[in-house]
Amino acid sequence: MATFGRGLTAAIPVALGYFPVAVSFGIGAAQAGWSVAEAGFVSAVMYSGAAQFVALTLIAGGTAPLVTIITLVLMGVRHLFYGPTLARTAKDATFRRSAVWSYGLTDEVFAVALAQLSRQRVAWSEPWLTGLGLGAYASWVSGTVLGAWLGVWGTEFPPFISDTLRFMLPALFLALVLSLLTKESLAMVGVAVVATGIAAVFLSGAAPIFFGMGAAALVAAGKQHVRGAQ
């Protein structure tokens, strides 16, 4: 049985990767004139890494609140697909506690959950998902508070350690991609990688993710269609 504690353990790579990024956000927030409480409040309530850095730039730059809100909301649209995608790994399961665990459904938490559930390394369990999400969330919020505190005192996280920990997130994504890789999914993943790479040349932020997702979905649907026609 996948428990809350096991979820917390599964969150360790995510938490380690989040921490330096959150510290950087906190330092940036302090340098922009935000208090420790304000920086912590943003991380606790908004809880969306890339969007928070954009928020920092927009708010500190005096952008109109409505423009800021629209920009940041659009950045979060990709999350619409995460819940239903996870749900497909949970045949006949119920979602009684989804109001709790869905709060922590970030890119990284989703990726870890999907990889573990798809490979049936853990059975569908809402306490497990809650532990996974809480571990990542605690790291993000505490890292922000520490960073803002360091920023207020004019100190910074040692760059070498920060850079190494920052490498953990792409390393984690690679490990997760490889854990999902089968003969069947090879073409789909390959096309997603190429589509994202091309989109990233022309688009910034989270937009290239849609191209990766769309390309993978098209390949999978096409293969299924051909199989159905045979």
Show contacts with other proteins in window 18-47 (CB under 8 A): 38, 41-42, 45-47
Show contacts with other proteins in window 86-115 (CB under 8 A): 86-88, 90-93, 95, 98-99, 102-103, 105, 107-108, 110-112, 114-115
- Specify the residue, 152 or 223, whose C-beta has the smaller distance to other proteins: 223
Residue 5 interacts with other proteins (CB under 8 A): yes or no: no
Show contacts with other proteins in window 199-228 (CB under 8 A): 200, 206, 208-209, 211-225, 228
Residue from 103, 80, 93 nearest 125 by CA: 93
Find out whether 36 and 149 touch, Cβ atoms under 8 Å.
yes
Show contacts with other proteins in window 125-184 (CB under 8 A): 160, 163-180
- Specify the residue, 12 or 150, whose C-beta has the smaller distance to other proteins: 12
Residue 69 interacts with other proteins (CB under 8 A): yes or no: yes
Among the listed residues 1, 61, 84, 120, the single contact to other proteins using CB under 8 A: 84
Closest distance to other proteins from the beta carbon of 75 (Å): 9
Residue 77 interacts with other proteins (CB under 8 A): yes or no: yes
Residue 62 region by backbone torsions, left for phi larger than 0, else alpha for psi between -120 and 50, else beta: left
Binding span for other proteins by CB under 8 A among 9-17, 23-31, 134-142, 143-151: 9-17
H helices of the chain, where? 4-10, 12-31, 36-45, 49-60, 65-75, 82-87, 98-101, 107-118, 126-152, 159-180, 186-202, 207-229
How many Å apart are CA 214 and CA 192, to the nearest integer? 8
Q: At what angle do helices 107-118 and 159-180 cross, to 10 degrees?
A: 40
Among the listed residues 53, 68, 149, 162, the single contact to other proteins using CB under 8 A: 68
How many Å apart are CA 168 and CA 14, to the nearest integer? 8
Among the listed residues 5, 37, 57, 76, the single contact to other proteins using CB under 8 A: 76
- Specify the residue, 138 or 193, whose C-beta has the smaller distance to other proteins: 193
Among the listed residues 31, 85, 138, 150, the single contact to other proteins using CB under 8 A: 85
Residue 1 interacts with other proteins (CB under 8 A): yes or no: no
Find out whether 156 and 146 touch, Cβ atoms under 8 Å.
no
Contacts of residue 50, Cβ cutoff 8 Å, sequence gap at least 6: 75, 205, 206
Question: Hey, what amino acid is at 197?
Answer: G
H helices of 119-158, where? 126-152
- Specify the residue, 154 or 222, whose C-beta has the smaller distance to other proteins: 222
